[in-house]
Amino acid sequence: MSLAAKVMAGDRLALARLLTQIENEELVGLDCLSDLYPHTGRAHLVGVTGAPGTGKSTLVNRLVLHMRSVADGKEAEPATVAVVAVDPSSPFSGGAILGDRIRMRDLAGDPGVFIRSMASRGALGGLARATAGMVQALDAVGFDIILIETVGAGQAEVDIARTAHTTVVVSAPSMGDEIQAIKAGILEIADILVVNKADIPGADNTLRFLRATLQMARPMRYGRGDHIRDQMEADGVMWEPSVLATVATQGDGIESLSQEIARHRAHLRASGEWAVREGERIRSEMELLLREHLTAQFMTRQPDGRFEEALERVIARKLSPRQAIASLLEGEG
Ligand SMILES: Nc1nc2c(ncn2[C@@H]2O[C@H](COP(=O)(O)OP(=O)(O)OP(=O)(O)O)[C@@H](O)[C@H]2O)c(=O)[nH]1
Ligand SMILES: [Mg+2]
pLDDT tens digits along 198-254: 999 888 888 888 888 777 765 544 444 566 666 656 665 678 889 999 999 999 999
Q: Is 85 in the pocket of ligand 1 (CB under 6 A)?
A: no
When the pLDDT of each residue in the chain is averaged and rounded to a whole number, the result is: 83
Structure confidence at residue 223 (pLDDT): 45
Starting from the CA of residue 83, give the closest ligand.
2
Record the pTM.
0.85
* Axis crossing angle, helix 273-301 with helix 227-235, rounded to the nearest 10: 160
Rounded distance between C-alpha atoms, residue 154 and residue 185, angstroms: 8
Average pLDDT over residues 118-139: 78
- 55-59, 77-81, 104-108, 142-146: which has the minimum mean pLDDT? 104-108
pLDDT tens digits along 89-110: 443 333 344 444 444 555 667 8
Q: Is 150 in the pocket of ligand 1 (CB under 6 A)?
A: no
Residue located nearest, by CA, to atom 30 of ligand 1? 197
Nearest ligand 1 atom to the CA of 87 is 23
pLDDT tens digits along 14-52: 999 999 999 888 999 999 999 999 999 999 999 998 888
Average pLDDT over residues 266-270: 93
Q: Ligand 1 centroid to 148 CA: how many Å?
A: 16
Beta bridge partners of 294: none
- Closest to 133 in 3D by CA, of 166, 86, 88: 86
8 A C-beta contact, residue 163 and residue 45? yes
Amino acid letter at 51?
A
Rounded distance between C-alpha atoms, residue 144 and residue 261, angstroms: 13
Starting from the CA of residue 115, give the closest ligand.
2
Alpha helices in the chain (DSSP H): 3-8, 12-23, 27-36, 56-67, 96-103, 124-140, 155-162, 177-183, 186-189, 203-221, 227-235, 254-271, 273-301, 306-315, 321-332
Residue 118 pLDDT class (50, 70, 90 cuts) = confident
Rounded distance between C-alpha atoms, residue 303 and residue 287, angstroms: 26
8 A C-beta contact, residue 86 and residue 131? yes
Q: Ligand 2 centroid to 46 CA: how many Å?
A: 15
Structure confidence at residue 218 (pLDDT): 57
Rounded distance between C-alpha atoms, residue 274 and residue 5, angstroms: 29
User: What contacts 205, CB < 8 A, 6 or more positions away?
Assistant: 173, 174
- Sign of the four-CA dihedral 20, 24, 25, 26: negative
Starting from the CA of residue 56, give the closest ligand.
1
Structure confidence at residue 120 (pLDDT): 60
Q: Ligand 2 centroid to 270 CA: how many Å?
A: 32
First-to-final CA distance of the chain: 46
Starting from the CA of residue 196, give the closest ligand.
1
Residue located nearest, by CA, to atom 7 of ligand 1? 55
Q: Is 199 in the pocket of ligand 1 (CB under 6 A)?
A: yes
Q: Ligand 2 centroid to 312 CA: how many Å?
A: 42
Q: Ligand 1 centroid to 290 CA: how many Å?
A: 39
Q: Ligand 1 centroid to 56 CA: how many Å?
A: 6
Q: Ligand 2 centroid to 152 CA: how many Å?
A: 11
Q: Is 247 in the pocket of ligand 1 (CB under 6 A)?
A: yes
Average pLDDT over residues 283-304: 89
Cβ atoms < 10 Å from Cβ of 242: 17
pLDDT exceeding 70 applies to what percent of the chain? 76
pLDDT at 71 over 80: no
Q: Is 249 in the pocket of ligand 1 (CB under 6 A)?
A: yes
Residue 316 pLDDT class (50, 70, 90 cuts) = very high
